[in-house]
Amino acid sequence: MPKSLISRSVLATTGDNKVISEVADRVRNSSVSVIKEMMYLGAQEATRGKDIVSLGVGLPFYPAPKHVHTHVINKLQTKSDIDKYTLLTGLPELRNIVADISTNQLGFKVSSDEILITPGSMAALLYSMLALVNPGEEVILPSPYFSSYAEQITIAEGIVVPVAMIEDPRVGFRLDVAKIQKAINNKTKAIVLNNPQNPTGAVYLKEDLLELSKILKNTAVYVITDEVYDYLLYDNCEYFNIGEIKEIWPRVIRCCSLSKKYGMMGWRIGYLHTNRDLLMNILKVHDASIVCAPHISQEAAIAALTGPQDCVKDHVKWLSDNRDAICRRLDKLPELFTYVKPRGTYYVFPKFNFPIKSIEMAKRLLYEAKVVTVPGIGFGPEGENHLRLSFGSSTQVIHKAFDRISDWYAKQK
């Protein structure tokens, strides 16, 4: 078992991640993301009849808007080619809609030629790694980072370079631009910027992004942005998209999603935006794997993006109430948890004060308190001694989980 796997995989410690000697190194060295591993263990406990509550996976509790379902039902009944593939790049109507949205977001003209419709942003991210990274090339991840990036880089046979973020009590986690600059060398292929950030709830400061872009524009480093949570900001916090900075183009790949914004995770729909030449190369990975995003999901995306947007405001309001609820519960356990308040996303990343490592902590909370959490080590070395808690589920679930964690902690004293 590779050493790095033992330290970041929960299933490696339960015997469920048996590495078969025949598999290629790229698979041997990678793991199912720690988030899904905990989801798997939670489901295993539930099938054994245990009453499990989850603060684990990032599933928001709301469904897709009604008008999306209505549109899809209508298309199923009336669109004669709905069962067929679409063009590789996606439905032209959807690409045009996304190009217009991107033009508004970035403040310069984006053409539909620069848009690839993908089955979720996860595919867009993996395509980017496979299309850009040669074996041994490095990808910088501000750390803690979303666990799947490390697995995708490993599958591309690249090297993960975590660069610790600064934990600033005033604004939460922020980029350490000087450290990123130091980490860049002639093997650096890309940096991934997930803003707002999973797992910390950080929203990167505009001043940091501007400074970083000044450095990046004089290098050959690609910027891969993961914009899954770009709508999910609290307390009127300012959001700045680094893609707005013209000088760093064309070396930008934007990975975007409808999953969280519209409660459409299961539809597997998102998109990638980059310069046309690179897109035509990325298309080779898309064609060799998926061919096209599901036709029906592309129709659902048209309805979501062009329909009323009030639902998004409602989602943000509900999640903001959930954030307040989980922060109040964390505040009641000051001996166990310290944390910075998330400014975006629906995750909080508290540090725990308990003398075991995060994998052990998450396992004990699962098996003894019946609560799913995600061990911080899965999000990079800087994540050790933390847990990722999702507050995307209902407020009742948050309270039920914290009642159990409080009872569990009382018994440890």
Residue 120 or residue 162: which is nearer to ligand PLP going by CB?
Answer: 120
Q: Which of 11, 34, 98, 122 binds ligand PLP (CB under 6 A)?
A: 122
Residue 152 makes contact with ligand PLP by CB under 6 A? no
Among 33, 198, 241, 322, binds ligand PLP (CB under 6 A): 198
Least distance from ligand PLP to the Cβ atom of residue 377, Å: 17
Q: How many CB atoms lie within 10 A of CB 331?
A: 10
CB of 27 to ligand PLP, least distance (A): 20
146 vs 5, 39, 55, 56, 192, CA distance in Å? Answer: 16, 16, 16, 13, 10
Residue with token string 């569990």: 408
Judged by CB under 6 A, which stretch of 83-91, 116-124, 316-324, 397-405 contacts ligand PLP? 116-124
Using the minimum distance from each CB to ligand PLP, give the nearer residue, 64 or 369: 64
> Residues in the chain, how many?
413
Q: For the CB of residue 294, give the shortest distance to ligand PLP in the complex, in Å.
A: 13
129 binds ligand PLP (CB under 6 A): no
Beta bridge partners of residue 188, listed in sequence order: 138
- DSSP string for 124-138: HHHHHHHHHPPTT-E
CB 45 within 8 A of CB 367: yes
Name the minimum Å distance from CB 51 to ligand PLP.
25
**Does 194 contact ligand PLP by CB under 6 A?**
yes
Instruction: Report the residue number, 86 or 259, with the smaller CB distance to ligand PLP.
Output: 259
* Nearest residue to ligand PLP, scored by beta-carbon proximity: 120
C-beta separation of 319 from 232 below 8 A = yes
Give the nearer residue to ligand PLP in terms of CB position, either 256 or 377: 256
Q: Site residues for ligand PLP, window 78-107 (CB under 6 A)?
A: none
Supply the minimum distance, in Å, between the C-beta of residue 172 and ligand PLP: 16
Cβ-count burial 76-91 (b if 16+ within 10 Å, e if not): eeeeeeeeeebeebbb
Q: Are 182 and 329 in contact (CB under 8 A)?
A: no
- Which of 270, 344, 378, 392 touches ligand PLP (CB under 6 A)? 270
Distance CA 225, CA 238 (A): 17
**Judged by CB under 6 A, how many residues of this single chain contact ligand PLP?**
13
Pair 269, 301: CB distance under 8 Å: yes
**Could you tell me whether strands 138-143 and 351-352 are parallel, antiparallel, or unpaired per DSSP bridges?**
unpaired
Rounded to whole angstroms, the Cα distance separating 392 from 382 reads: 24
Choice between 352 and 379, CB closer to ligand PLP: 379
Taking alpha carbons only, the member of 250, 190, 186, 184 closest to residue 224 is 190
Looking at residues 25 to 64 of the shown chain, list those that interact with ligand PLP (rule: CB under 6 A): 58
**Segment near ligand PLP (CB under 6 A), from 24-32, 89-97, 115-123, 357-365?**
115-123
Q: Which of residues 364-403 bind ligand PLP (CB under 6 A)?
A: none
Minimum distance, C-beta of residue 269 to ligand PLP, in the bound complex (Å): 7
- In the structure encoding, which two tokens stand for residue 63, read together? 């469904």
Q: Which is nearer to ligand PLP, 270 or 378 (CB)?
A: 270
- CB 39 → ligand PLP: shortest distance, Å? 11
**DSSP H stretches of helix in 190-309:** 206-216, 276-289, 295-306
284-313: contacts with ligand PLP (CB under 6 A): none
350 phi, psi to nearest 5 deg: -75, 150
Site for ligand PLP in 244-263 (CB under 6 A): 257, 259
Q: Which helix (H) or strand (E) holds 352?
A: strand 351-352
CB 347 within 8 A of CB 55: no
Residue numbers of the site for ligand PLP (CB under 6 A)? 58, 120-122, 146, 194, 198, 226, 228, 257, 259, 265, 270
